Structure 1
């Protein structure tokens, strides 16, 4: 273990010790979502199954709650809800990555855990990003001696060398494939693919897809998987422009396209979406969702998680020693070219104290008073008009989730929370099976909202998961009131559960 890695591990031990002895810090933290043990985290990395455990690595800076030289933190789980902290896996400690170990992925390979990541270094022209590898046993990891394994010399065209990152690796027909995001000389993003027979020598195959309309620049964190017989390609374009009807917002987005990857021609052919003839759609419509990464489980499920925060709006309170958490892992499926997301089924065993109710049109109901924010609330409405408001309030602070059935929209407002940030509010068109594009929806009511809250986050799964809406917030008080206002002319039914660790 290098001095840099030892120093990071010592800091992680110090942070976990502080949390263990502070009830105040424990109360700040989510119960069933992964959150950094202290310091900063962003993108999920190396989300994989190895040696009978689920492994999640993450971009990690243990020395402050702000982004800094990137390490790889590491946790494991048996149920996606309770995470065991492991030793820090990677630190920026060699010539190929002395400025940072950026995002990547992991697979099992010949009995070992293979990590692929971006090493950030510097030369006389400035910052350089290349692809690197490390092998491990599920606890400890060693970088290969031939770092980096892929550089600009392996790409037959010029590009911006400071933007070549985030390798996704997978196995197929006895070979290993890798795709990475890259910024072309014209500033547009693209995805390049490489092939290897032994994880040592890599061959450039080509550009599988690229920005076609100039609506984004760099494409970060590519992810590819097979679901329902089709390839699902997810990536995170930067510097996008807002398009309310399509759901895109200014800045960093995470989008998906479905289709077919031709391995010989090295081309990804996109499916067009039936509702608007467009090929791409947003993965999540809330403020706080970025850099999703998927895992193909041995039981056949495709599971995805993402960083639950926005680059554009940092809202970590000043007195916190931790910043950054992940979404609840989600089970993915494709239907008619549309992505459906549902909470991992393991959550069911953590639900307790079930109760149901009905709120008449024009009435309000307090679901709980002065309680911890660990719950699932499912709402069903037959109304085609009016507004449903959900408020979480503690002391003088409050957050609001608003469902407007007149214009078929959902919005989140944290302007009255502890820290509002630069994006205190987001509104999105409600997607439905009839019209996932969001225009002229003709549902005639019958909306379903599955709302999951964990201390400082609200994740909403709409209409069986055809749309998700993820936002974080912070409050000074760990206890809140939950009130539902039914501003429609028909009854609103609900089911409610507490979520707590199973015995």
Structure 2
């Protein structure tokens, strides 16, 4: 694996100059030095540092040749790239190292992931493999006894699309959730539960949760974690990520209603970690690249919690405030279809905006993003209860017209993330055109009349990744 990793890293370095010159490459979102990335994997806090692994094709800007990229951080904001952690073991018939997780077994960092040979094995014939590190996660060795789980665990029941292990420990017992389906033609998602004392010998317990057609034609990338006095099951169902808050006792999960985590179609494949303060931090993959040299990045790390009513609360982590540079603040600004002179100076494509609107007399309100050729919108329509970010739209559940609307917006070159009342989110991509170094203009607007009660605007610094 060592030689394969060296070749892979050479390929990434060769592509790096093109990636760094791309005008659409984000400046404060995490992404590899170059080439393709997708799912975040193995997110973990270990010895005072945060580690993220990710699905990575070091040989190009499209999906294929799945490796595990690797980086670490002390603050979840600034990242240091590390050597690629996993490459396919071709001599063992492995062509892809699919998604998985990382846990600490005693003192040993341990990766558990889905091994794929021929791509058809993603449908039928996947195995779960393990790798360990003895040098604080710098290099990894695959377990000689792989696989640690095969479909034989299910005896007469065949599981298709069986992948993406998510592992945690309760007392002295390890548990794992994997997703799959009962047949090639089945069009619902299922999550399955397993148990082990040592991470190498597993037993199949039972089905943890069964979806319906409304929850997607199948599930990927399950996350199952405690939050407050509840448990959350989060899955990626080939459409926007969904979650259910329920109860979990004696290995039985009783899900509550299902909700959309992020209304953007470009946000997918979540993973989580718990930090030294017990915070639950969420990562996800943002699809698409720019002009050349790179494809995909991660969202800004999100902190998840429950409010007093048991609703999911989310926002970008406060550590990102360290990136704030120049600042403007406005209060009680009336807005309409006409530009508002008092806030006409807002420009930039590496910015953060925190705005609170009154909804009482507006048909639509938000911000227009104006480049050299066209306008894009980040807006809310009270009549439809709908959020829009460029071409992405979402039906909201948390906004009441009698209450103020809060939008927390991050724009990073071609990436947009919006948090609505800290309850919902939408992620989008866009590709503004710049002529003669003209900056992106950010213009508050309202159809009808509107009021911005508070508007905070920051230009942000790059993390120089």
Give TM-score scaled by structure 2 length.
Answer: 0.90
Q: 1:63 to 1:501 in 2, by over 3 A?
A: closer
In structure 1, the residue matched to 2:75 is 79
Counterparts of 1:110 and 1:448, CA distance in 2: 44
CA RMSD after TM alignment: 2.4
In structure 2, the residue matched to 1:270 is 255
In structure 2, the residue matched to 1:302 is 280
Matched residue of 2:9: which SS? helix
In structure 2, the residue matched to 1:420 is none
Counterparts of 1:457 and 1:173, CA distance in 2: 41
Conserved? CA contact 1:349–1:502, under 8 Å: no
Conserved? CA contact 1:96–1:120, under 8 Å: no
Q: 1:483 aligns with which of 438, 443, 461?
A: 443
User: In the TM superposition, what is the alpha-carbon distance from 1:371 to its structure 2 partner?
Assistant: 4.8
Q: 2:351 aligns with which of 375, 381, 392?
A: 375
In structure 2, the residue matched to 1:498 is 459
Counterparts of 1:41 and 1:502, CA distance in 2: 19
In structure 2, the residue matched to 1:443 is 401
Matched residue of 1:5: which SS? helix
In structure 2, the residue matched to 1:241 is none
In structure 2, the residue matched to 1:467 is 424
In structure 2, the residue matched to 1:173 is 171
Counterparts of 1:157 and 1:402, CA distance in 2: 52
In structure 1, the residue matched to 2:125 is 128
User: In the TM superposition, what is the alpha-carbon distance from 1:139 to its structure 2 partner?
Assistant: 1.0
Give TM-score scaled by structure 1 length.
Answer: 0.84
In structure 1, the residue matched to 2:54 is 58
Q: 1:124 to 1:486 in 2, by over 3 A?
A: closer
User: In the TM superposition, what is the alpha-carbon distance from 1:120 to its structure 2 partner?
Assistant: 0.3
In structure 2, the residue matched to 1:249 is none
Q: 1:212 to 1:33 in 2, by over 3 A?
A: same
Q: 1:122 to 1:49 in 2, by over 3 A?
A: same
Matched residue of 2:402: which SS? coil
Matched residue of 1:128: which SS? coil
In structure 2, the residue matched to 1:208 is 208
In structure 2, the residue matched to 1:145 is 144
Conserved? CA contact 1:45–1:56, under 8 Å: yes
In structure 1, the residue matched to 2:326 is 353
Q: 2:246 aligns with which of 248, 254, 259?
A: 259
Q: 1:291 aligns with which of 269, 274, 288?
A: 269
User: In the TM superposition, what is the alpha-carbon distance from 1:95 to its structure 2 partner?
Assistant: 5.5
Counterparts of 1:300 and 1:192, CA distance in 2: 26
User: In the TM superposition, what is the alpha-carbon distance from 1:87 to its structure 2 partner?
Assistant: 0.4
Q: 1:286 to 1:109 in 2, by over 3 A?
A: same
Count of aligned pairs between the two proteins = 450
Does residue 306 of structure 2 align to residue 334 of structure 1?
Answer: yes
User: In the TM superposition, what is the alpha-carbon distance from 1:349 to its structure 2 partner?
Assistant: 2.1
Output one character per residue of 1:303-323: Cα deviation in whole Å (capped at 9) or x when no partner. Answer: 0010112xxxxx534x31100
Conserved? CA contact 2:240–2:264, under 8 Å: no
In structure 1, the residue matched to 2:190 is 190
In structure 2, the residue matched to 1:13 is 13
Q: 1:400 to 1:183 in 2, by over 3 A?
A: same
Q: 1:215 to 1:461 in 2, by over 3 A?
A: closer
Structure 1 unaligned spans of 5+: 239-251, 272-278, 310-314, 414-424, 434-441
User: In the TM superposition, what is the alpha-carbon distance from 1:369 to its structure 2 partner?
Assistant: 6.0
Matched residue of 2:83: which SS? coil
Structure 2 unaligned spans of 5+: none
User: In the TM superposition, what is the alpha-carbon distance from 1:151 to its structure 2 partner?
Assistant: 0.4
Counterparts of 1:346 and 1:495, CA distance in 2: 17
In structure 2, the residue matched to 1:436 is none
User: In the TM superposition, what is the alpha-carbon distance from 1:397 to its structure 2 partner?
Assistant: 4.5
In structure 1, the residue matched to 2:316 is 343
Matched residue of 1:200: which SS? coil
